[in-house]
Structure 1
């Protein structure tokens, strides 16, 4: 509700809602009339829905896998959790090299299986947001898997044994026993991931240089503050 510049924040004026609904010479110049703002909102919502949905699905599969007892279980758990431990800036740079249109490993793999292999993942607007989603899913799926694994390990094994005796199929055991009992942990994990995805900035800024095709709400705010010196 203020009008202040970054180079002189102490010289601010109270403007109420003018930042959102201001008009100049009969033309609306407020934030809510800026097409880039609405694109940033759309990008953020699309990114949040897509990445969280994929992370939930893959995280559930990984949690079910890690909950089984098999040889080398500890090694598998460690390997799965490694991406989550890598700093976001590092993983963004790594994926930027992997998505390179000329020498990136992603295009090389696509070419080896007969698919188009000269895709400009970062520069092409229709692909750049998918590149961000892939990088984010790779990094944060282990978080979802870890949360769900903790819930799975609290389920008594006697419940599954009784269900097997009653002739319940694996899907029925998952639907009637596993899913209801891990639901509280699943909801908490979803809340954390949705909140984290809604404020996404660093991954997009490093991977795509905050281009308009991938700009998030946080990226839009940064653009106004740093590029235009407008603190609001």
Structure 2
């Protein structure tokens, strides 16, 4: 290694060291401690008295994937329900937000009067804190005094008031609807930024040749915005997999909507089972990490194919 290369490498490590120290303090140490607690019977009342139990919190009789925790089978148990709820929420909400975000971004990419005002207005739901927007929607969806039920009754779309956040038949879809309302602007913003980089000459050539608008979108627009679209999807997917606040505020972490993060909160805070809650946190971390690795490999494979 030449002297100049060694000097540059040394300078790089000097600049990276503070970042690595901060990451170790705010990420690596809490993660390591969580993994450690997941291998113990730690209780919130006395963490110092925690005893080593190995993988009992994972595969023991009353662990996350144990056989005796629920006689009706794994997926009928609380942890299995939390996994299914999280996957359902993430898949449906991210799909809807991607499609709606793409549609809105395509509209906002067109030239029309007042476009700047409309762009700013579209971002308002995303700018509102999640807790605030959840509270607002909670009031609007109230089964007795909510304006949503009143409007539906006035237009004769329903005959009786509906407990949108309490009825297990509607609770999950209500949470998805609120999340789509709040987060679609985020997808719109990322996709719109990608649309702004598309070369105009390609569209002009297609217009001169009389190419159908759908073919223009499929063959020109979509390939250009695909990298940004993939980034937007993975960001939203990772965020949706760890959803907690929206579900907790709207439905109080009910069994029909509880997520994996909600399960962690219930075990750690409500029940005081820090060991079991830490095991659930570790599994959630592994799921999110697996999604991130899969995305990175998919991106590299796509990049090699494009080359």
The counterpart of 2:169, out of the listed 126, 135, 142, is 126
* Corresponding residue SS for 2:79: helix
- After superposition, the CA RMSD in angstroms is 1.1
Q: Provide the residue aligned with 1:7 in structure 2.
A: 45
Note the C-alpha offset of 1:108: 2.2
CA distance in 2, matches of 1:64, 1:195: 25
CA distance in 2, matches of 1:106, 1:65: 28
The counterpart of 2:230, out of the listed 161, 170, 187, is 187
Name the stretch that deviates more: 116-125 or 77-86.
116-125
Higher Rg? 2
* Corresponding residue SS for 1:125: coil
Note the C-alpha offset of 1:111: 2.2
Name the stretch that deviates more: 145-154 or 166-175.
166-175
Q: Provide the residue aligned with 2:269 in structure 1.
A: 226
More strand by share: 1
Q: Provide the residue aligned with 2:150 in structure 1.
A: 108
CA distance in 2, matches of 1:178, 1:230: 51
Q: Deviations over 1:124-155 (max 9, x none)?
A: 00100111001100110000000000000000
Q: Provide the residue aligned with 2:62 in structure 1.
A: 29
TM-score scaled by length of structure 1: 0.95
Q: Provide the residue aligned with 2:283 in structure 1.
A: none
Q: Provide the residue aligned with 2:299 in structure 1.
A: none
Note the C-alpha offset of 1:120: 1.2
* Corresponding residue SS for 2:238: helix
Specify every segment of 5 or more residues in structure 2 that has no aligned partner in the other structure, as ranges.
1-38, 70-76, 276-307
Higher relative contact order (CA 8 A, sep 6+): 1
Specify every segment of 5 or more residues in structure 1 that has no aligned partner in the other structure, as ranges.
23-27
- Taking the TM superposition and a 5 Å limit, the aligned residue runs for 1:137-176 are 137-176=180-219
CA distance in 1, matches of 2:208, 2:101: 29
Count of paired positions: 227
Q: Deviations over 1:159-212 (max 9, x none)?
A: 101011111111111011001110000000000000000000000111111111
CA distance in 2, matches of 1:113, 1:174: 38
Note the C-alpha offset of 1:45: 0.2
* Corresponding residue SS for 2:50: strand
TM-score scaled by length of structure 2: 0.72
More helix by share: 2
Matched, 1:99 2:137: no
Q: Provide the residue aligned with 1:25 in structure 2.
A: none
